[in-house]
Amino acid sequence: MEFIVNLSKEEYEEFVSNNENGHFMQSYDFGQIKKEKHFIPHYVGIKENNKLICAALLLEKKLIMKYTYFYSPRGFVIDFKNKELLNTFTNYLKKFAKERKALFIKIDPAIKRHDIDIDGNIVGDNNNYLLIEDLKKLGYKHLGYNLGFEMEQPRFTFRIDMDKSWDDVYSSMHPTTRKILNKGNQYNLNIYKGNKNDMEDFYITMIETAKREGIIQSPISYYENFYEIFNKDNLSDLYIVKANIKELINSFENKINNVKNEIDKLNSNKNANQAKSQNKINDLNKQIDKLNKDLDNIKKVNEDEVVLSSIITVKYGDKVWTVHGGNNSILMELNGNYLCYYTIMKDAYDEGYKCMDCFGTCGIANPEPNNPIYGIHSFKKRLGGEYTEFIGEFDLITNKFMYTMYKTLIPIYRKIKK
């Protein structure tokens, strides 16, 4: 076996993208993207008989006094059940890391811990408990089963199975989602695939979402770089949903007039059941009140056109991820996010992808409404995907003393920075 430290893009991608468990965060392009965050990408692997049998993206981050650490996002591209190969690769990586004064190598494999239902209950006996123990025996320190977003990547996600008929995909959605989608694009919203010229519109939704959720937002340059690098290799799309305010006002005024006409017809029908007619009229009046309220909100918008929702996707292997996205804080009642996700799902299905990963949620299956993640979790849950829990983060420690110092001081630094 030969340890390779500088795999070419072609050779690396040929192996990783065709792996059934391949993840876009293991891709060559993702390593290039992380340069903006001051990581140095290394594409390493093992060859046997001149054939690549495992690989990893190692992101190197420089620390003080020439120390470093490595992060392998979503873990190695390897047969984790092959204990001998995993042991060999681990030993090569430890040697590689120590030569560069690394304190540790972090991994967070996208491997299921066990099967869970929509409420987070363990179902069946399919699990990877033995793998967790095997990694510990090899020196990987397990960092626990976090429920939130405090680690490098979310430990939970929703994954929508596309490897079935579209009717089955659609019917697996929550009834509330189907009710919204069954109305079609009733507000004539403009949904399209954008390009780098639409990045400022995209960033509006990211900033608005960050304000609502109380999270720190990356600069627009990061998303521009992210999109352009993946899109150059036809691995990314930018979806934009916009509303034309003038058209919206006309649409709502027409809806109100149509409802009023229905009320007039009911009032003029002397042969109708008076009790039933009055109940129907009451319901229609409630509709008018709701429409007038929405119309008042629309008229408060000063722009001619407003971006409602946007998402950057990544297509890699047989999966599509909805990676970066957000929603404007105004006109959310138009459900631009539902239209956006539906379009992405339908495109992914039509293009032959087998899975759509909604890229992260919390480990609290039923969060309280006052939980900041409540809205995101509830929305993704209603898309009908499988609630998925990964095995978590591990640190392969290569300098125990400095690792302890780092883990003690870095939380203080981050708290000051925040």
For the domain spanning 2-109+392-417, the CATH number is 3.40.630.30
Distance (Å, rounded) from C-alpha 125 to C-alpha 112? Answer: 12
Provide the CA 163 distance to its chain's centre, in angstroms: 19
The answer to whether residues 355 and 318 touch, using CB atoms and an 8 Å cutoff, is yes
Q: Please provide the size of the chain in residues.
A: 418
* CA–CA gap between residue 372 and residue 40 (Å, rounded): 33
Q: How does pLDDT run across 328-379, given as a tens digit for each residue?
A: 999 999 999 999 999 999 999 999 999 999 999 999 999 999 888 898 999 9
Phi, psi of 291 (to 5 degrees): -65, -40
Q: Report the pLDDT value the prediction gives residue 417, as an integer from 0 to 100.
A: 63
Question: How much is the mean pLDDT over the chain?
Answer: 95
Q: Which of 103, 52, 375 is nearest to 213 (CA)?
A: 375
Look at the domain 164-245+303-353 and name its fold.
Aminopeptidase (3.40.630)
Q: Is the pLDDT reported for residue 413 higher than 70?
A: no
- Residue 320: which of 361, 350, 357, 359 has the closest Cα? 357
Where exactly are the structural domains of the chain?
A: 2-109+392-417, 164-245+303-353
Give the model's pLDDT for residue 202. 98
- Starting at the edge strand found earlier in the chain, the sheet holding 355-357 runs 122-127, 112-116, 386-390, 156-161, 355-357, 319-327, 305-316, 236-244, 190-193
Kindly tell me if the per-residue pLDDT of 410 is higher than 80: no
How does pLDDT run across 192-245, given as a tens digit for each residue? 999 999 999 999 999 999 988 878 889 999 999 999 999 999 999 999 999 999
Domains 2-109+392-417 and 164-245+303-353 belong to one CATH topology: yes
pLDDT, position 336: 97
Q: Residues 80, 318, 7, 392: what is their CA dihedral angle, to the nearest 10 degrees?
A: -40
Q: What is the pLDDT of residues 46-59, one digit of tens each?
A: 999 999 999 999 99
Q: Residue 277's pLDDT is what?
A: 81
